[in-house]
Amino acid sequence: MKGDFSMIARVFALGLAIALAGAPAVAQDRAALIAQGQKLFTAQGCYGCHTVGKVGTPIASDLSRVGSKHKEAYLLQWLRDPATQKPTAHMPKIAMTEAEARALAAWLASLR
Ligand code: HEC
């Protein structure tokens, strides 16, 4: 019985160590993803039609608070192809990789 307990204690300690080591890394990855998304706003030409804060062109909607309007999953699907979220969408489908779409969606979702 004593052996069982120390085994459980060891597994628990290991789990705790992994959780403590992993948490800051996850937060850092998330921050990096959001920072990358912000750069893509310029690199992918979004600023040619949208504004965020004082950056961009007010042809289409201002995205400064789009994160409080739409969930990240919606934004990601919007970026893959706007027409799948809204058949009448007047935004062209923009060529980008899945990784770029994820970064942009993470950044947009953070705009509240
Ligand atoms: C050619 C102009 C144009 C470009 C470039 C463009 N958009 Fe759009 N975008 C629009 C228009 C127009 C709408 C409104 C679509 C509708 O609702 O019919 C829109 C809508 C959106 C929406 C939904 C906003 C809401 O309130 O529902 C998001 C999010 C968005 N765009 C993000 C982006 C991102 C990110 C990029 C860059 C990858 C981008 N757009 C590039 C024209 C553009």
For residue 19, the domain's CATH number is 1.10.760.10
Instruction: Report which of residues 84 and 13 the model is more confident about.
Output: 84
Distance 97 CA to ligand 1 centre (A): 17
**Ligand 1 and 43: CB distance under 6 A:** no
Distance CA 58, CA 53 (A): 11
Atom of ligand 1 nearest to the CA of 69: 26
Maximum alpha-carbon separation in the chain? 71
- In this predicted structure, the answer to whether residue 90 has a pLDDT above a threshold of 70 is yes
Atom of ligand 1 nearest to the CA of 70: 27
Selection from 104, 83, 101 nearest residue 92 by Cα: 83
- In this predicted structure, the answer to whether residue 83 has a pLDDT above a threshold of 70 is yes
Tell the residue number behind the tokens 């040619």, with chain if given: 48
Instruction: Please report which confidence band the pLDDT of residue 106 belongs to, taking 50, 70 and 90 as the band edges.
Output: very high
Domain that holds residue 99: 2-110
- In this predicted structure, the answer to whether residue 85 has a pLDDT above a threshold of 90 is yes
Distance CA 89, CA 91 (A): 6
**Ligand 1 and 104: CB distance under 6 A:** yes
User: Count of CB atoms within 10 A of residue 27's CB?
Assistant: 10
What pTM value is reported for the model?
0.85
